[in-house]
Structure 1
Amino acid sequence: MCSTPGSSKNENFEDFYSEVKQIEKRDAVLTSQQQINRLLRPGSTYFNLNPFEVLQLEPDASVQEIKKKYRSLSILCHPDKNQDNKEQAQQAFEVINRAYKVLSNDITRKKCLDVYEEAKDRTDHMIAEKKKKLKKEGRGDETIPEDDADKYKHSIYVMVMKLFADMERRRQQLETRDMEERKRKRETEIEEEEKKKADKEWQKNFEESRQNRVQSWHSFQSGSSSSKKAKKQKKSLAFNPPKLKPEMR
C-alpha cells in the first residue's frame, strides 16, 4: 500500500509528537528534590568538578543555553522553593552557582573545553594503541568496545572526569604547599619579631643596669671623698698636747 502525502505528514507529526512527549516525560522527573539529590549524590565531589556535568550541558553549548539552563536549575534548587529541605537545597544551589560562574567566564570556560579536547585526544590515542595491539596479534579485523558510538562517548566522559579530578588534586597540592609556605614565613617573622623584642629588652635592661652601676660608682666616689674629708677634719680637730721642753738649770 502506497503512502499518500497526507499520511506521510501524519507519520512525521506522530514522530515529532512522540519525541516531544519523551522530552516532557524526561524533564518531568527532574523535580527539585531529584535535582538536589543528583547534585549531592555519592561521589558528587568529583562529578561536580565538571561545570558542564552540573548544568547538564554538552561542551558545545552556547552562552545562551548556559544561561537558560542555569536559570531553570537555580529556580528548582533555590532554598526558598525547598523549605522542607532548605540546607541541602542551599548546598545544591551553591554548586549550580559555582558551575555557572566558571562557564559564564570566557577564560575559565575555555579551560574546561581544553579538558574535553585533551580527553578526546587521550581516548583516541588509547583506541589506536588497542587496535595496534590487535593488529600485531593478527586480530586486526576484531572490533573494540569503543567502536560503538555510545561507548566511545562514555570513554571520553570517563576521561574528562579523570582529568578534572587530576586538576583538582593539583590545585589542592598547590594550595597546601602555598599554605605551608605562608605558615613557615609567618613563623620566621614571629621568630624575628621575638628576637628583636628580646634584644630590645636586653638593651633596655643593660642601659638601666649601666645607669645604676654609674650611679653606684658616683655614690661610692662621693662617699670616699666625704670619708677622707671627715677623717682629715677629725684629725685636725683632734687634741695635740704640747711637747715638753727640757728644763734648763
Structure 2
Amino acid sequence: MGDVKVDDDAILKSFLAEVGEVERDNEVVRILSCFKLNPFEHLNLSFDSSTDDVKRQYRKISLMVHPDKCKHPQAQEAFGALAKAQQLLLNDQERDYILTQVQAAKEELKMKRKEQLKKDTASKLKSLVDEGKHEQIYEQSEEFQKELKLKVREILTNQEWRRRKMAMRISEEEGRLKKDEEEQKEIRKKKREHEEQLEGTRENRVSSWRDFMKAGKKAKKGETRPPKLKTEDPNKSYVQRPVKKG
C-alpha cells in the first residue's frame, strides 16, 4: 500500500514539474467557468467517480492552482472553489443529493431517446437485436455525456431555484411571525406600564375621594334649609270680597 502511494507521489511530482504557467492559468479559468452547483465539474470528474477518485483529483488540481504555485490573480478563488467541491463530494448527504439529480437527468434522457426510437424504425430494430447493448454504448458515448451534463445543470438549477424560493417564503413567514410577536410584546408592555401608573396613583386617588366625602358630610351638618312652602287646601272655599266702587 505504501509503495503505491510513493509511486503516485512520484507520478504527481513528475506531472507538476512539466506543468507550465500557461497550463496553471488555464486550469484556474476552467475551474472558475464551471457550473457552480456541480462539484464534479470543478474536479473534472465523471458522475460515477469514487471518493478515492475525488481525493486524488483534488490533490492533483489543487497543487496546480495553489496560490503559492500559480501566479494567476484568481488562483485563490479557484483554489477555494476546488476545496468546496471536494468537501461536497466527500459529504454523503450532499453527494447522494447530486447523484439523485444525475439519475433523474438520465431517466429524462432515456425517455427522450425512447420517443425518438419510436419514430426511427431502424434504430429501434437495432436496439432490439443488440438486446440493450446499443443503449449501453450510447450512454457511454461522448454525445450522451454532453447531454447528461447539460441536463444535470438544468435540473440542479431548477432545484436550487425551488430551494431559494422556499427559503424566501420561510424567511418572510418568520419575519411576519417575529413582527407579530414584537407587536404583542409592545401591547403587553404598554398595558403593564398603564397598570403600574394606575397603581402608583391609586393612593392619591383614594385619599382625594376620602377628602371629598368628608367635605360633603361637613357641609350637610351646617347648611341652612329653606322653609317649607305651605300648600293650599284644594277643598277650601274662598269668598271673594266685594270691590268698592269709587
Q: Which TM-score applies when normalising by structure 1?
A: 0.65
Q: What residue in structure 1 maps to residue 89 of structure 2?
A: 103
1:128 aligns with 2:114: yes
For residues 99-178 of structure 1, the aligned pairs below 5 Å read: 99-135=85-121, 149-178=141-170
Stretch of structure 1 that moved more, 60-69 or 27-36: 27-36
Q: 1:62 aligns with which of 47, 50, 62?
A: 50
Q: CA deviation at 1:81?
A: 4.1
Q: CA–CA distance in 2 between the matches of 1:79 and 1:192? A: 54
- The alpha carbon displacement at 1:80 in A equals 4.2
Task: Report if the CA contact (8 A) 1:134-1:140 is conserved.
Answer: yes
Structure 1 gaps of 5+ residues are: 1-22, 232-249
Q: Distance in 2 between the 1:61 and 1:139 partners?
A: 30
Structure 2 residue matching 1:31: 3-state secondary structure: helix
Using a 3 Å threshold, how does the CA distance of structure 1 residues 202 and 80 change in structure 2: closer, same or farther? Answer: farther
Instruction: Indicate if the aligned counterparts of 2:31 and 2:42 stay in contact, CA closer than 8 A.
Output: yes
Structure 1 residues 139 and 95: CA distance shift in structure 2, 3 A: closer
**Partner-residue secondary structure (3-state), 2:178:** helix
For residues 95 and 129 of structure 1, the distance between their equivalents in structure 2, rounded to whole angstroms, comes to 39
The C-alpha deviation readout for 1:140-185, integer Å capped at 9, x for no partner, is 789xxx9693222211121111111122112211211221122112
- For the 8 Å contact 1:36–1:77, the answer to whether it is kept is yes
Q: Which residue in the other structure is 1:242 paired with? A: none
Residue 54 of structure 2 contacts residue 89 of structure 2 at CA under 8 Å; is this kept in 1?
yes
Measured in 2, the distance between the counterparts of 1:61 and 1:30 equals: 28
Distance 2:171 2:68 in 1: 37
**Aligned equivalents of 1:64, 1:124: Cα separation in 2:** 29
- Work out which of the residue numbers 184, 200, 213 in structure 1 matches 2:192: 200
Describe the superposition over 1:108-138 as per-residue Cα deviations: whole angstroms up to 9, x where unpaired.
Answer: 2222222222211110110111222345xx9
Helix, strand or coil at the partner of 2:175: helix
Which residue does the alignment assign to 1:77? 65
The number of residues matched between the two structures is 197
1:38 and 1:131 map into 2 onto residues whose CA distance is 36
Counterpart of 2:61 in structure 1: which amino acid?
A: L
1:241 corresponding residue in structure 2: none
Three-state SS of the structure 1 residue aligned to 2:49 is coil
Q: Distance in 2 between matches of 1:152 and 1:132?
A: 18
| TM-score for the superposition, normalised by structure 2 | 0.66
Partner residue in 2 for 1:33 = 25
The 1-side partners of 2:60 and 2:92 are apart by: 21
Amino acid of the structure 2 residue aligned with 1:40: L
Distance 1:139 1:115 in 2: 28
Deviations 1:21-79 (A, max 9, x none): xx99x9768733222222323xx4xx121111111111222222211111233333334
User: Which protein has the bigger helix share?
Assistant: 1
Aligned-residue Cα RMSD (Å) equals 3.4
1:53 counterpart = 2:41: yes
Aligned 8 A contact 2:25 2:72 in 1:
no
Corresponding position of 1:190: 182
For structure 2, the residue ranges without an aligned partner over 5 or more in a row are 1-14, 127-136, 223-246
Q: Residue 67 of structure 1 aligns to which amino acid in structure 2? A: K
Determine the C-alpha separation between the residues in 1 that align with 2:216 and 2:182.
Answer: 50
